[in-house]
Amino acid sequence: MAGGRKNKYEEYVLPHLDEIKEMIQTMTEKQIATQLGVSEQSFNNYKKEHEELRQALKEGRKGLVSELKSALKKKAFGYTYEESKVVIRKEDGKESRYIEKYTKVAHPDTGAIHLLLKNLDPEWHNDDSTVISMKEAELELKKIKIEQEAWE
């Protein structure tokens, strides 16, 4: 029997590798499997067996990470943006509509700054590590005190 039925990977996944690169930016792998019509377990098996699927997922995530880094940097530095709204006024029984535009400012976000420095600058000292080292020193002193009291 030559030319048998294609397996599910060839039929349901392989033709959609470009779409998978896009899907991984907004969906979980379980959701992608459902969208493609395969089980989550099968999808996981396909990832182990097929390099091109792993690459599609990797490339899609790489694009997402790049976009997220850009958005975080933008938030860290602050930016301006325009908003507009439609205003309706009634004068002399007539409705008039016009668009009002505003320039708004998103100020730099210290949380975003902290996160970027923490992850990108190895010399950046996080307050948490200082607190942890102080608590470790305090614990060591308490141990010494307990040992001394045991000898008295």
Backbone angles phi, psi at 2, to 5 degrees: -85, 150
If you average pLDDT over residues 46-65, what whole number do you get?
93
The answer to whether position 135 is within a domain reads yes
The answer to whether position 130 is within a domain reads yes
The answer to whether position 14 is within a domain reads no
Query: Does the structure show a pLDDT above 70 at 2?
Result: no
If you average pLDDT over residues 22-49, what whole number do you get?
94
- Model confidence over 69-102: pLDDT tens digits? 999 999 999 999 999 999 998 888 889 899 999 9
The answer to whether position 145 is within a domain reads yes
Query: For the chain, how many helices (H) and strands (E)?
Result: 7, 2
- pLDDT score of 3: 55
CA separation for the pair 129, 144 (Å, rounded): 23
The answer to whether position 146 is within a domain reads yes
The answer to whether position 119 is within a domain reads yes
The answer to whether position 17 is within a domain reads no
Q: What is the pTM of this model?
A: 0.55
Place of tokens 């325009």: 82
Query: Does the structure show a pLDDT above 90 at 149?
Result: no
- Residue 4, both tokens: 């048998």
Q: Is 94 helix (H, G, I), strand (E, B) or coil?
A: strand
Domain hosting 136: range is 113-151
The answer to whether position 38 is within a domain reads no
- Model confidence over 117-141: pLDDT tens digits? 888 887 776 666 677 778 888 888 8
CA angle 125, 131, 135 (to 5 degrees): 140
> How many structural domains comprise the chain?
1
